[in-house]
Amino acid sequence: MEIALKVDVDTRRGLEEGVPRIARLLESEGITASFYIAMGPDNSGRAIVRLIKNPGFARKMIRTRAVTMYGVRTMLSGTLLPSRPIALAVPQVLRVLSHSGFEVGVHGYDHVRWQDEIDALGEAAIRAELDDAFEAFRAILREPAKAFAAPGWRTNATAMRLLDRMGLSYRSDTRGTTPYRCVVGAETLATPEIPTTLPTLDEVINRPGLGDTASIVRFYMARMRDDALNVHTVHAETEGMGQLEILAALIRALKERGAVFVRIAEVVARLDRETLPRCPVIRATLDGRAGWISAQGPPAD
């Protein structure tokens, strides 16, 4: 069984505090992972605005005790207090990750703006988000980024086409079951899409019967596929802060089952693009997550 841990980093606090803790855990377990970092301003305080506007989101925030989880400074960032830069303010965290052998990719520039406004942004603004993010990455790591993971698993035809022209090794923008190539209109994009295959911890943590670490680990292990690549997204702000023990327990259970931990770039290196399924990207909703996400549709051929 192969498992790729995809660590999404949405906030400054996640990068400064959550990432080093997750990296230490992974290193102590002798395993690898792929990290995707929001490069731009931390506007996560705008979540407060969402909390007021969206009843579903409010329930989720209360359920996961988000204020405790993210901290007051994060909640105010970009609202009452100026937004803080994420990657550019603590570039050494990215460099240490890269030097330690972890894969590092781009998780957008302004995470909140992308997630909340992608369909309103238009081509010029989406291009600006991408240019700023990839330029910040290059400035920090002195090499071009080869992978992109969309904030909030949200993408659209404009973003997919722009990203496809960048010649990346892959994108990981959607939820789905297997690596595929995205069909957008009449066009099949060249860049492989490697979807997240499992629900995230914040989507499942308060479901009935999942109140403790052991039951959460059992839940995940029952959903791991022995015959396919499993991609599990964890968050620097969740597993890296209050829920590190759950991640540690899951890693131990995976190791007991003989799982091989891979970086997504390694998986992509051995894929044959020509034989990947071609699938449209559809919009879907998920239990435990407010709003829509982009998902792998049924194969087009």
Residues that bind Zn ion (CB under 5 A): 8, 10, 151
What's the closest the beta carbon of residue 109 comes to Zn ion, in angstroms?
Answer: 12
* Buried-exposed string 242-275: b where 16+ CB fall within 10 A, e elsewhere: ebbebbbebbebbeeeebebbbbbebbeebeeee
What's the closest the beta carbon of residue 300 comes to Zn ion, in angstroms?
Answer: 28
What's the closest the beta carbon of residue 108 comes to Zn ion, in angstroms?
Answer: 8
What's the closest the beta carbon of residue 8 comes to Zn ion, in angstroms?
Answer: 4
Nearer to Zn ion, 194 or 259 (CB): 194
Nearer to Zn ion, 37 or 217 (CB): 37
What's the closest the beta carbon of residue 179 comes to Zn ion, in angstroms?
Answer: 20
What's the closest the beta carbon of residue 237 comes to Zn ion, in angstroms?
Answer: 9
Nearer to Zn ion, 150 or 246 (CB): 150
How far, in Å, CA of 227 to CA of 2, rounded? 8
What's the closest the beta carbon of residue 39 comes to Zn ion, in angstroms?
Answer: 12
Nearer to Zn ion, 263 or 289 (CB): 289
CB 175 within 8 A of CB 148: no
Nearer to Zn ion, 18 or 176 (CB): 18
Nearer to Zn ion, 8 or 164 (CB): 8
